[in-house]
Structure 1
Amino acid sequence: MSSRNHNQLPNNLPQLQNLIKRDAESYKDEFHQQYQHFISNLEVFQLKPNQYSKILDELIMFLAQISHCFTKELVDFPQYLKTLLLNYSTTLDPTMRMTLCRALILMRNKGLVPAVDVLELFFQLFRCNDRVLRETLYTYIVSDIQNVNAKHKNSKLNSTLQNFMFDMLKDSNVVAAKKSLDVMVELYRRKVWKDAKTVNVITTACFSKVTKIMVAAIKFFLGVDSNDDSDSESDDEDKGSKKNANELLIGHRVGKKTKKRQKRLNRALEVLKKHKKKKKRGELYNFSALHLIHDPQDLSERLFKQLEKCNEYYDVKIMMIDFISRLVGIHQLFLLNFYPYIQRFLQPRTKDVTRLLLFAAQATHELVPPDLVENLIKTIAYNFITERNSSDAIAIGLNAVKEITARCPLAITEDLIRDLAQYKNHREKAVSMASRGLIMMVRQVNPTILHKKDRGRITEAMQEKEILPYGCPDAKSYLPGAEVLVKEKEEENNDEQLNEEDEEEFGFIDEIIKQTEEEEQEEEKEDDEDEDNDGWEVCSSDEEIDGWSDNDDGWIDVEHSDKEETKETPTLTKSGESKKNKKTNKLQSAKVQVSLEEKKKKAQFVSDQKIFSQADFEKINKAMVLKNLDPIQRKRKRDEQALEEEMRERGEILDIASIENIHKRRAHDKDSRLSTVHAGRTERDLFGRAKPKMNPNASKTNKEKKRSKNYMMVKHKLNSKKNKRSFKDKQVALRDALLKKQRTMRK
């Protein structure tokens, strides 16, 4: 009876916790008793912090759970925990250390502890040699900072933590520095800290002496997921989900088929599909980080100096070359020593040579001196585009020259492009298609260096193309192609306004037409004089022809063939046809110049008067694509779509497929083979009984009944040895049986 009257609350902390949360004032004495008990146990624990104390563990979690009920009494409680973690962070028992962190997280979620104190402490705890603790703190730090900046940006907290992380990146502990970098990268990926300060702090990690930290920072700028563990875990989960789906389907095959079991199977498969969709994520990073760098020129020079001196693995060097090439290409930097450096690796047998060719093309732009890029193109041509190499190597070299020429048109010479254009008749389709692609590129960029037969028909884009020398900016005060937006009705009104307001600006067109008309009149007068002389020149009597005078009788009559006469007639002064060709060429050039100037004025007028929408830009882009097409073959939609896709893909960052785009007849993969198989089954009947039943209401055979039976009912029959015996075993068994029978009969 005495045991029933004793108070059991001091020993039952979960029950006391529940009661305090309901009515805190009624159990204030019990709380003070437990708090004094916690202080006394804490003093004892500090003597041996490497040993686990179960009583202190329970008291810490108890006080953390009820901390919102006694805020005044527990003001010093978070400070006790923080000092304990700071002083004994590496010597604490792992379980006790995790309990202390969980208690601080619990009070931080209730708003009882400021975020700066807790997060700075957790960053310092990354130095502990406890992987589970580091992963827990990493996930909490990222989620807490994201929650703080969910509604509005907390600039004060962000700047304080960013400065603290900048110091943590220089920490002597490699694990702590790497985890701090991972936190910043994850916050940028979640668009929480997507500012220039975060990006420039990450750039400092690119010069770390620790290879792991340097590689993680470079991967961030290259758009590669640096968290390999998460990728492997997600892959394992996907494999597990596929395995579970297969197990469900196999399990459904065994047993009786009922509607209830079918519904259960469908629900399970839907849950697995939803889980798989949640796991799928889009692109982790975008390339805006490269645009937020403060001084890309200095960064690229320092990275290149580090690349020349470093003794890292080949894969790390490849990543550094990729990062430098993207910086040079996007910001149009001058890094002149980079091109001779990368030329050393451009050999067909080099590892990852297609990526190196991509980096070489990525680092070229219009501001690079054409002499440097010309040497780069010649190196590719001499090492790849030769008959001693395979067809794939030649095609890859031609594709690389094509991408470099698209970015730096003045780099390729006339002799080299005419030599490379001869590969269009190569016996291998991959080489011929790559050469034709290079010719099409040069037609758009600089068609004058091509041979006349390779230029094709003159398109509108070729007429409007202005080939500027090196260093001349191509700045325009209007949007090219904006004249497409002028409608027929608007054109008439705009033409009247332009004629009234801009007569002086259009005066040069009248001058060009007057000049052409005056030249035509002069040429017509010359033609009339020539017609009076029947197309022959009039020579004076004093002139001598080949040393003979007109009065000499020393002419020799020589018979000429018809071919010689036809060859000599154009060289005579009968020049009516040649003058007509000159007339037409001058008129055509004058008309082209007039039309181009009219288009420029219309585009200028539209650009000044209109605010463009997304639909307007789509119309302009479509018009620009049509200008690059052959005027006679514009009805071919396939060429239009291919050219439009090519112009869209050509952006700041190149794709490796542009270099490895080898036109070759590939073998069928599994999906294409299955599609052809299913296409051949359309006319065939579905699988079923060979011969239908005479009576559809007849009962099933024993073989059909066996299929619907439970597996446990037929298991003993399937596992029997009789069914599995081969023909030879049956012969041996029959022989033994006959011998045994013969022996018994003798007895």
Structure 2
Amino acid sequence: MVRKHNNQLPENLPQLQNLIKRDSASYHEEFLQQYQHFQNTLEVFQLAPDQPNKTLDELVMFMAQVAQCYPKELEKFPQQLIDLMQKHNTVLDNSIRMNLCKALILLRNKNLLAPTDLLELFFHLLRCQDKSLRQFLETHIITDIKNLNKKHKNAKLNTTLQNFMFTMLKDTNARAAKMSVDIMIELYKKNVWNDAKTVNVIVTGCFSNVMKVMVASLKFFLGKDENEKDSDNSDSDEEVDPKEVMMANKVNKKTRKRAKDLEKVKKLAAKAYKKKSQAVPFNFSAIHLIHDPQGMAEKLFKQIESSNHRFEVKLMTLDVISRLIGLHQLFLFNYYSYIQRFMQPHQREVTRILQFSAQASHELVPPDVIEPLLKTLANNFITERNSSDVMAIGLNAVKEICTRCPLSISEDLLRDLAQYKTYKDRSVMMAARSLIQLFRNLRPELLHKKDRGRPTEATEEIEKLDYGRTQAKDYVPGAEVLLDEDKNEDIEINSESESDDEQWVDVQHSDNDMEAESDEELSEEEEEDNDDAATTIQNTSSNRKVLKAKRTKTEILQNKKAQAKQVTVERLLTDEDFKRIDMANVQKQMHSTTKGLKRKLEENTKAKNKDDLVKLSDIENIYKKRKHDKLTRMQTVKEGQEGREKFGYKDGRVNIHCSKTNREKRKKKNFQMIKHKVQGKVKRSFKDKQISLRNHLVKLKKMK
């Protein structure tokens, strides 16, 4: 006789779960029965927690699914799971531990569990030797903290978790410490924890005894330049307009080309959304939020001197120290003598070491500290026994260092390096000329007179540099241009209004005209007064001209400063005014104060170019014709063939539709078709050739 099962709910938990969610009051007794079964199973499981238990897994997930239906009965259920995990977290079976974590996350999503209790438990579980569990917990922790701060920053919760993470970084377990650092770095990148406290907690990771924690913290402060990373794809991304492609896909016919464009637009939208969720990269702003950069730099330098880490780790440490020194203008004089020992052309990653030396240079470093560094660089790199690429890299490194610390180089060394402007190799020549161009706008008095170039208005306004002296200005340089434009506008208005009455217009003379008139008057008076002393005037005329020129130049500069200060104080400058001022400052570099005009300066040699960080491409910038790959070579070949006549046989037919001769057709035939004729030609004797030539000439004679 077959036994009939009228009630299968005690054994079918998914069905009971579905019914309870629909009508929890009607199935209360069935729930209590399963709850009692859970309690009994839990007591039996605690006797052997290292053994797997499938029944417990099913009951735990069932209770977590229906917990919101019976809040009073399951009030202590979350705490039971937390106690079980805290008591047996390291001995539990991997499947049971993962299932319990999923149940706790389900309770947390239903707001039946406080976020702090769950997150602290999960941080403790990072010590477990289960890689899949650690990755699962890391993803949940990041997502949960991000959701908690989505609408507004939960300062109290963030402070509690950050303090707990600070203790986790000092944990003896390397896995837990490394995972804690990764979580904090990921939260900073997602613009959730981007405050100074998070950054300074990560600072402590740079001095951890665990190598992975130290490397992860150093990489965080080095950061990445997203513009360089996506520079190759920037051109292709701008070709497709998202709005046009989406509209075309709705209206036009479905084609493969439009489908590909639509997929491309979706990827671009996803990339743009991802960029918005990340922290704004303000020149690697994490370094700006450090509370004690001087102490951090000193500790890192002491660590690199006393430890025996790999060369790659030493490079990362030197990079962080150089950025700290350059951005915060710190004093760490031993750093320059330490990095000086690595300045050899055969040294591995030598261009990066040169980059670090340039990043660690700033105006407040005494020139005596960096001058030995420049001499070592010149002696080891800028010599003719090295290759041209090594010499060019050395000159570029000198230029980057002098850009940030122009007082560090001596006059003799600069003039020696300037002599490479006529070197036979183009890369060395261009590097030397860029160095000369830099000092034309910084300290032209150090250069030889022939290297200073023709003086311009901008070079005359250069003030002498002194150590520790700041050039703070209480006006906008170049603002006097706005005053001249206002005068010109008033003159035009007056001329238009008074032209009908044929009246004279009073035009004010410019400063240069007034000075020219005064110079003429002075010269006339001097000629009248000194007619009897011609010999004396000839001896002193040159000195007077020089003094007079200097006097007029200083008067002009003082007058321009006064006008600029007047404009800055009396009016509010708009964006258009600043554009005019910028154009006027550029023109000052183009217009010469002597006769004629100076050639336009290149954009990359304008004045000072002090970025916070040194780009490696600036040091490795070698002026050389690079080898192209096959694709670019074929592209240039095809571009050169456009618009020109084709080479080879030219068709002389007037009507292109008429037939061709057999000789022309033979050029396109297969060789096997004309093989016998070609062989016949080769085997002809001299007599046969004479006969054929005679017949041909006779034929031509008859045609005439």
Q: TM-score range by the shorter chain?
A: 0.7 to 0.9
Query: Which residue identity is paired with 2:60?
Result: I
Matched with 2:118 is 118
Give CA-to-partner distance per residue, 1:536-576, whole Å, 9 cap, x none. Answer: xxxxxxxxxxxxxxxxxxxxxxxxxxxxxxxxxxxxxx354
- The whole-number CA distance in structure 1 between the counterparts of 2:138 and 2:163 is 18
Matched with 1:659 is 619
- The whole-number CA distance in structure 1 between the counterparts of 2:566 and 2:603 is 30
Partner secondary structure for residue 416 of structure 1: helix
Matched with 1:348 is 345
Partner secondary structure for residue 136 of structure 1: helix
Structure 2 CA distance for partners of 1:167 and 1:422, relative to 1, 3 Å: same
Structure 2 CA distance for partners of 1:486 and 1:297, relative to 1, 3 Å: farther
Query: Which residue identity is paired with 2:386?
Result: N
CA contact (8 A) 2:65 2:106 kept: yes
Query: Which residue identity is paired with 1:80?
Result: Q
CA contact (8 A) 1:52 1:95 kept: yes
Equivalent positions of 1:364-375 (< 5 A) are 364-375=361-372
Partner secondary structure for residue 456 of structure 1: coil
Equivalent positions of 1:158-557 (< 5 A) are 158-224=158-224, 263=255, 267=259, 270-271=262-263, 274-275=266-267, 278=270, 286=282, 287-486=284-483, 488-489=485-486, 531-532=531-532, 535=534
Structure 2 CA distance for partners of 1:518 and 1:463, relative to 1, 3 Å: closer
Partner secondary structure for residue 468 of structure 2: coil
1:483 Cα deviation (Å)? 3.8
1:581 Cα deviation (Å)? 3.5
Equivalent positions of 1:540-579 (< 5 A) are 574-577=535-538, 579=540
Query: RMSD of aligned C-alpha atoms?
Result: 3.5
- The whole-number CA distance in structure 2 between the counterparts of 1:622 and 1:492 is 18
1:51 Cα deviation (Å)? 1.4
Give CA-to-partner distance per residue, 1:359-416, whole Å, 9 cap, x none. Answer: 1111111111111111111111111111111111111111111111111111111111
Partner secondary structure for residue 480 of structure 1: coil
Give CA-to-partner distance per residue, 1:77-117, whole Å, 9 cap, x none. Answer: 11111111111111111111111111111111111111111
Matched with 2:553 is 592
Matched with 1:141 is 141
Compute the TM-score of the two structures, normalised by the length of structure 1. Answer: 0.73
Matched with 1:502 is none
1:21 equivalent to 2:18? Answer: no
CA contact (8 A) 1:171 1:177 kept: yes
Give CA-to-partner distance per residue, 1:668-703, whole Å, 9 cap, x none. Answer: 1344224224425645999xxxxxxx9xxxxxxxxx
Structure 2 CA distance for partners of 1:13 and 1:313, relative to 1, 3 Å: same
Matched with 1:89 is 89
Matched with 1:10 is 10
1:603 Cα deviation (Å)? 3.2
Partner secondary structure for residue 476 of structure 1: coil
Matched with 1:60 is 60
Query: Which residue identity is paired with 1:108?
Result: R
- The whole-number CA distance in structure 2 between the counterparts of 1:623 and 1:89 is 72
Give CA-to-partner distance per residue, 1:115-167, whole Å, 9 cap, x none. Answer: 11111111111101111111111111111111111111000000000000000
1:465 Cα deviation (Å)? 1.1
1:262 Cα deviation (Å)? 8.7
Structure 2 CA distance for partners of 1:679 and 1:517, relative to 1, 3 Å: closer
Partner secondary structure for residue 26 of structure 2: helix
Matched with 2:130 is 130
- The whole-number CA distance in structure 2 between the counterparts of 1:26 and 1:2 is 30
Give CA-to-partner distance per residue, 1:194-227, whole Å, 9 cap, x none. Answer: 11111111111111111211111111011049xx
Query: Which residue identity is paired with 1:658?
Result: D
Structure 2 CA distance for partners of 1:97 and 1:9, relative to 1, 3 Å: same
Structure 2 CA distance for partners of 1:384 and 1:430, relative to 1, 3 Å: same
1:587 Cα deviation (Å)? 3.4
Matched with 2:248 is none
Query: Which residue identity is paired with 1:406?
Result: T
Query: Which residue identity is paired with 2:317?
Result: M
Partner secondary structure for residue 344 of structure 2: coil
- The whole-number CA distance in structure 1 between the counterparts of 2:591 and 2:486 is 28
Query: Which residue identity is paired with 2:616?
Result: I
Structure 2 CA distance for partners of 1:176 and 1:416, relative to 1, 3 Å: same
Runs of 5+ unmatched residues, structure 1: 226-230, 232-237, 239-260, 494-509, 536-573, 687-693, 695-747
Structure 2 CA distance for partners of 1:360 and 1:531, relative to 1, 3 Å: same
1:44 equivalent to 2:44? Answer: yes
Structure 2 CA distance for partners of 1:578 and 1:420, relative to 1, 3 Å: farther
Partner secondary structure for residue 531 of structure 2: helix
Structure 2 CA distance for partners of 1:358 and 1:70, relative to 1, 3 Å: same
Give CA-to-partner distance per residue, 1:222-244, whole Å, 9 cap, x none. Answer: 1049xxxxx9xxxxxx9xxxxxx
Equivalent positions of 1:641-720 (< 5 A) are 641-643=603-605, 650-680=610-640, 682=642
CA contact (8 A) 1:527 1:576 kept: no
Query: Which residue identity is paired with 2:441?
Result: Q
- The whole-number CA distance in structure 1 between the counterparts of 2:45 and 2:576 is 72
1:577 Cα deviation (Å)? 4.7
1:315 Cα deviation (Å)? 1.0
Identity %: 52
Partner secondary structure for residue 481 of structure 1: coil
1:609 Cα deviation (Å)? 4.8
Query: Which residue identity is paired with 1:445?
Result: L
Residue 543 (structure 2) aligned to one of 582, 587, 602: 582
Partner secondary structure for residue 25 of structure 1: coil
Partner secondary structure for residue 127 of structure 1: coil
- The whole-number CA distance in structure 2 between the counterparts of 1:685 and 1:67 is 84
CA contact (8 A) 1:629 1:640 kept: no
Structure 2 CA distance for partners of 1:159 and 1:481, relative to 1, 3 Å: farther
- The whole-number CA distance in structure 2 between the counterparts of 1:146 and 1:615 is 43
1:486 Cα deviation (Å)? 4.6
Partner secondary structure for residue 467 of structure 2: coil
Matched with 2:565 is 604
1:481 Cα deviation (Å)? 3.5
- The whole-number CA distance in structure 2 between the counterparts of 1:400 and 1:661 is 10
Matched with 1:101 is 101
CA contact (8 A) 1:345 1:353 kept: yes
1:418 Cα deviation (Å)? 0.9
CA contact (8 A) 1:459 1:628 kept: yes
Compute the TM-score of the two structures, normalised by the length of structure 2. Answer: 0.78
Aligned length: 596
Query: Which residue identity is paired with 1:349?
Result: H
Structure 2 CA distance for partners of 1:51 and 1:396, relative to 1, 3 Å: same
